Amino acid sequence: MSEPHLLPLLGAPPQERRDAARNRERLLDAAKELVEQVGAHAVTMDAVASAAGVGKGTLFRRFESREGLMAAVLDHSETEWQARVMSGPPPLGPGADAWDRLLAFGRTRLETTLLHAELIREAGRSGARASGAYSFAATHVRYLLSQLGVSGDVPLLAVAILAPLELPILEQVSLDGFPVDRFYDGWVDLVGRIVTPPGAAART
């Protein structure tokens, strides 16, 4: 006669225990705090654990690795941008035409990448960019490209459009000594060439 006391909630991950949830929060808060105070590069796992008043083992069980922790911190920050893209005001959000949205996307993407540069670097490839944030961006660009009626291998063109805005590329470039401002203009030119099929009229 006894059934599991709470709704089985089909297929959902077994539900996190209360202490686990509490500690996850403490750890994330402590991490964000420390990142802000001393910079991501100087944050040690021991420091985070003890600032959160939690054992080191727990920290690693929750976040897998240092990179994983940084990715979690980063993810939190980037979620806000994703929201702006999906449901914020135009031209970034819905409502403007696809071309203008694409340009706004590029500009803000560049800005957030630079803003979170250190965190992105520390998150390494385990991180947000690889899974969450990057595939969101890719999906969005693919969508805009299809709206623009771009022909060809749209997924790959999306990659090409995003690539120059990724941190590793930006880092290599600025070593070659580019002013960042010029970068956006160059990117717009690039996108124009990709979007406008050969033989069509030029774009403004």
Choose the contact partner of 18 out of DNA, a second copy, none; CB within 5 to 8 A by kind. DNA
16 counts as binding DNA under rule CB under 7 A: yes
146 counts as binding a second copy under rule CB under 8 A: no
Q: What is the footprint of DNA within residues 18-57 (CB under 7 A)?
A: 18-20, 22-23, 43-46, 53-57
Residues constituting the chain: 204
Query: x/- contact string, 34-53, with a second copy (CB under 8 A)?
Result: --------------------
The residue (of 19 and 189) whose beta carbon lies closer to a second copy is 189
Please report the DSSP string for 73-137 in residue order: HHHHHHHHHHHHHHHSSTTTSBTB-HHHHHHHHHHHHHHHHHHTHHHHHHHGGGSTIIIIIHHHH
- Cα of first residue to Cα of last residue in the chain, in angstroms, is 71
The residue (of 21 and 163) whose beta carbon lies closer to DNA is 21
Total Cβ atoms within 10 A of residue 5: 5
Total Cβ atoms within 10 A of residue 42: 10
Asked if residues 28 and 51 have their Cβ atoms less than 8 Å apart, the reply is: no
| Strands, E assignment, 101-149 | none
Asked if residues 75 and 132 have their Cβ atoms less than 8 Å apart, the reply is: yes
Q: Which range of residues in 25-33, 34-42, 105-113, 123-131 is near a second copy by CB under 8 A? A: 123-131
Asked if residues 98 and 144 have their Cβ atoms less than 8 Å apart, the reply is: yes
**What minimum distance in Å lies between the beta carbon of 66 and DNA?**
3
Residues that bind a second copy (CB under 8 A): 125, 129-131, 134-135, 138, 152-153, 155-157, 159-160, 163-164, 166, 168-169, 171-173, 175-176, 178, 182-183, 185-187, 189-190, 192-194, 196-203
Residues that bind DNA (CB under 7 A): 1-6, 14, 16-20, 22-23, 43-46, 53-58, 60-62, 65-67
